Structure 1
Amino acid sequence: MWYKESVFYQMYPLGLCGAPRENDGRVVSRILQLKDWLPHLQRLHVNAVIFNPLFDSDRHGYDTRNFGKLDPRLGTNEDLKTVCDAYREAGMTLLFDGVFNHVGRGFWAFQDVLEKREASAYKDWFHIDFGGNTPFNDGFYYEPWEGHYELIKLNLHHPAVVSHLLEQVSYWIEEYGIKGLRLDVAYMVDRDFLRRLHGHCLSLDPDFFLLGEMIHGDYRQIVNSEMCQSATNYECAKGLVSALNSQNLFEIAHSLQRQFGQEPWALYRDLTLLSFVDNHDLSRAATAIADQRCLPLAYTIIFTMPGVPCVYYGSEWAITGSVQHDDADVRQAVETPIWTDLTDLIARLAEIRRRYPVLAYGTFRNVLIQNKQLIFERRDDSSRIWIAVNMEDRPVTMHFDAGCGTARELITDTIHDFGGGSGLEPFACKVWLMETS
């Protein structure tokens, strides 16, 4: 499956393109800015892009008004097609953000309910009690998403709702050539709907990819042969940041072993999950990780651990931002991408990830774990790669049985000799392709 060998890049277009926070209906073709990012993405060795919400919404994209119309703050449907065509021609596989659990108050069917109440043909598209009320004093109650009354839950058991959503997905596939969907709050989306969506998408494209957002719980609830092929690996994302901040690499080593080890009790060694350090809902990696010297270690780990790596726009050059006060602070506008030493490392890691199938399909085991050093192995029938990181602010020498005399260090493309111990510079990251006999 193509996604297993991909390097993903996530873009939040409303933020990146500098759209105003409120949708006043004015059409401005901001999305065309994304074409200017293609040389950067190609240099970064990215080959799959996730676009966060694109369609007409009240404010932030997750409060949809119309699934068939590009948000006017970004432009027109023709603008979106122009961008998607350019990305596909440049070798990028595209995913849209599927926000199917809830809509905004401006959603056309909900507006009809506000106007006609019980007489609306769409009243059963939502979970409504005409004997109640809401904080907006609508004169009736509706079920919101997790207490947020600006987000109205859709009734995904209603045949007309399901048909409407599947028709929109068909349109996205046919018009924009997408090959997958990121499914917002998939952890709470109706399971029968996920099955319908899965069957519908694969009937149109057998290689279609469904990535479910799972911020907690067992990933197998939605990652199975009937629903999604993958999920967001929040356990390792949070565990990685925590391990680096507490200077305790046992924490991330435990999560990796728990999920992907070869022991019978390992949870997900047959799954391919999405690996990341940050995204549009988390503080930027350069803010969340207290010591920015650890950023190269974080990206080295997510690019070499089991799963598919994903970089959130701007974080490849250590852009900062916190979700403590406002999610908009991590969805900032960027006029021009920047290239730094960190970007250079991530580009090299992406190149390595795509070049060596063992990093996509190989087994995992921890080799050496200390508070500030970690070595783990990826192995298949033909190759063996060891990944080593050192978060000490001083050089260290590590002694272990490598099972061979030398290795090619892939980041620097140099030969490493294991004789007499292996030295690691402060905050070093090594990707060793072990010699074969």
Structure 2
Amino acid sequence: MAWYDEAIFYHIYPLGLLGAPKENSYDGVTHRLKELDPWINHIKEIGCNALYIGPLFESVGHGYETTDYRKLDSRLGDNKDLKRFVKKCHDKGIRVILDGVFNHTGRDFFAFKDIKENREKSRYKDWYCNVNFGGNNEYNDGFSYDNWGGFNLLVKLNQRNPEVKDYICDTIRFWVSEFDIDGLRLDAADVLDFDFMKALRAVANEVKPEFWLMGEVIHGDYTRWVNEGTLHSVTNYVMHKALYSGHNDHNYFEIAHTQRWLDGMGGSSGQGFKLYNFVDNHDVERIFTKLSNKAHFTPVHILLYTLPGIPSIYYGSEFAIEGRKEKFSDASLRPALNIKDYKDSVKNNPATKLVAALGKVRSETPELSYGDYKELHLQNRQYAFSRNYDGRSVVVTVNNDDNDCMLTLPAGNSVEYVGALFGERITVNNGCIQVCVKANSGEIWVPAEKENKKKKLVELQTITEAGKISDASENKGASGTKEKSDTHSDINGIEADSHTEREEFEPSYEETSESNPAIEAKMNSMAESKKNSKIDSQLNSEAESRSDSKGNYEEGVIAGLQEAILAIMEKNGYVTDQMRNDVYNNTHHDSLVNWVKSFIR
């Protein structure tokens, strides 16, 4: 049993929360990180015992185009600030994991700058993938290279280069010795080289007992990444999607089917792997925004805290704040918040009160961390399962209907159960319990032992209204000017859109309760065909249009490709003048085609 087996995470995107400028001017240090100190007590108060915070290191803009892996972003402070912050978290019993952005660097990274200066003579020319001195790019470097997501702002590292591998491994050692961190979340883990990840796991085993590696993976067979040789966990995007759409569609079959599918990979409960569960993060819309019926905030979070896996709360969502992906800005997903605006939220905000209560129940109920999963009842609007561990059984019930519902469910060896959230006591009769599940709510039924007979419970309320967002967070940064979407959020928006396309082809969970690899493969094929045909249609249309106006087919094709790229960019976020110029300055046909294809991978 490791610390992460019982972890409840809080997730902070620091550049957003602290209102840092969108662009790094490199003209000095601003000690913003100390402003997170009051949040440490809040994190503890709502029952979280681990913090995922990042990106943190020096970068050009959004944090994922790293300039220096060994220096805290100057918009946040210096290395002393980070060391002090981690210690304050540890003093409160909170573990800390950081973003490890090792798939790519920014163009200001020392190795890439050396290539620009020395070209073929650079000793770092093999640090990046497919550097071609016979090509060019939109920056007119006089060479081309592989990137991430179609953006040459993010230069793809050659993870098979031993020097790169050693440099990153030494960076992890530095972070542990300098800041005493407890683990890493690996950005874009689904495109990292597997041998590279094995090297990272070897370093994790070396630097600190129970050093945790968690990877950002969208979908696929999670056991490819989660095993003894690579990572401890990955982001559970399939359950993320099921949790909100299963409620919006009044379809608990989707959630139950997803859990069966995860169990089929090799077990996501008991002694199996534990995935990183979440209902929102810095790349997707807030859960309160996504829910059609805001009262479903309660059953969604009950499931987040009780289904197999490691639960995580994204900063601000415990207040039920809104956050919507917009055409010209993703800033509302990463707002600046002032904790003073949420004073006494655990007492006065129904959403915060619920999250804090769930944190307390989770920390006091080992069955929810270690127990196996058994489905007890499944209908479109009602769902029940048990988590069983060490001879005890905890029963979870949820209801997405507007009416109360009575359920009769098999129980464990206890003679009496108590609702951990609402306090109702029920007796086991003939091996079963009969429970009333309140409308748009749920309950966690735990065996009524002597120690919890007089347990003091909080009064939970229906959640119907969004939480307050401070004035400072209304798309404004430190300069007070309205912020625009960053490139990385645009990229993730593209990936999220691709994921949504795929979901349109998933079978109804009322029609099939078992996973079918053939259907899954067909869905992927159909989704990919639809995306490709959509892009091809757009390219042909744009090319023909521009060709007619110029009277030159070749110029029309180039112009059509450029317009198609801009159209996709605009769909996923704000397009700056620089980004637009980068597209128009690229007149290389093959480069433009590869750029378009990168959006649909």
TM-score tier by shorter-chain length is over 0.9
- Structure 1 distance, partners of 2:153, 2:365, is 46
Distance apart, 1:395 and its partner CA: 2.0
Q: Considering fraction of residues, name the structure with more helix.
A: 2
**Native 8 Å contact 2:221 2:265 kept in 1:** no
1:160 aligns with 163
**Native 8 Å contact 1:55 1:68 kept in 2:** yes
1:243 aligns with 246
Distance apart, 1:145 and its partner CA: 0.4
1:191 aligns with 194
1:345 aligns with 2:347: no
Secondary structure of 2:377's aligned partner: strand
- Structure 1 distance, partners of 2:381, 2:233, is 31
- Structure 1 distance, partners of 2:326, 2:75, is 26
**Native 8 Å contact 2:223 2:266 kept in 1:** no
Counterpart of 1:239, as a letter, is: A
Please list, as runs of the form range in 1=range in 2, the aligned pairs for 1:145-156 lying within 5 A after superposition: 145-156=148-159
**Native 8 Å contact 1:64 1:107 kept in 2:** yes
Q: 245-254 or 119-128: which moved more?
A: 119-128
Q: 379-388 or 55-64: which moved more?
A: 379-388
- Structure 2 distance, partners of 1:360, 1:140, is 51
Distance apart, 1:400 and its partner CA: 3.8
Q: 305-314 or 316-325: which moved more?
A: 316-325
Specify which of 377, 398, 402 is matched with residue 393 of structure 1.
402
1:104 aligns with 2:106: yes
Distance apart, 1:418 and its partner CA: 6.6
Distance apart, 1:357 and its partner CA: 1.1
**Native 8 Å contact 1:280 1:327 kept in 2:** no
TM-score under structure 2 normalisation?
A: 0.70
Secondary structure of 1:354's aligned partner: helix
- Structure 2 distance, partners of 1:247, 1:414, is 26
Please list, as runs of the form range in 1=range in 2, the aligned pairs for 1:16-165 lying within 5 A after superposition: 16-25=17-26, 26-127=28-129, 128-165=131-168
1:226 aligns with 229
2:214 aligns with 211
2:256 aligns with 253
1:384 aligns with 393
Distance apart, 1:265 and its partner CA: 7.1
- Structure 1 distance, partners of 2:72, 2:265, is 46
Counterpart of 2:41, as a letter, is: P
2:5 aligns with 4
- Structure 2 distance, partners of 1:322, 1:107, is 32
Quote the sequence identity (%).
Answer: 38
Larger radius of gyration: 2
Q: 39-48 or 321-330: which moved more?
A: 321-330
1:423 aligns with 2:432: no
Residue-pair matches, total: 433
Q: Write out per-residue CA displacement over residues 389-416 of structure 1, whole angstroms, 9 at most, x where no aligned residue.
A: 1111122223444466641111133413
Please list, as runs of the form range in 1=range in 2, the aligned pairs for 1:159-178 lying within 5 A after superposition: 159-178=162-181
Q: 335-344 or 418-427: which moved more?
A: 418-427
- Structure 1 distance, partners of 2:39, 2:265, is 43
What stretches of structure 2 of length at least 5 have no aligned partner?
450-601
1:294 aligns with 296
- Structure 2 distance, partners of 1:328, 1:160, is 37
Counterpart of 2:5, as a letter, is: K
Counterpart of 1:24, as a letter, is: S
**Native 8 Å contact 1:241 1:289 kept in 2:** yes
Specify which of 382, 395, 411 is matched with residue 421 of structure 2.
411
Please list, as runs of the form range in 1=range in 2, the aligned pairs for 1:230-379 lying within 5 A after superposition: 230-260=233-263, 268-269=268-269, 270-325=272-327, 326-336=329-339, 338=342, 339=345, 340-379=349-388
- Structure 2 distance, partners of 1:164, 1:372, is 52
What stretches of structure 1 of length at least 5 have no aligned partner?
none
Runs of 4+ in structure 1 over 6 Å off:
none
**Native 8 Å contact 1:180 1:209 kept in 2:** yes
Q: What is the root-mean-square deviation in Å for CA atoms of aligned residues?
A: 1.8
Secondary structure of 1:67's aligned partner: strand
Change (3 A) 1:387 1:331: same
Secondary structure of 1:251's aligned partner: helix
- Structure 1 distance, partners of 2:95, 2:423, is 29
- Structure 2 distance, partners of 1:121, 1:329, is 42
Counterpart of 1:413, as a letter, is: G
TM-score under structure 1 normalisation?
A: 0.95
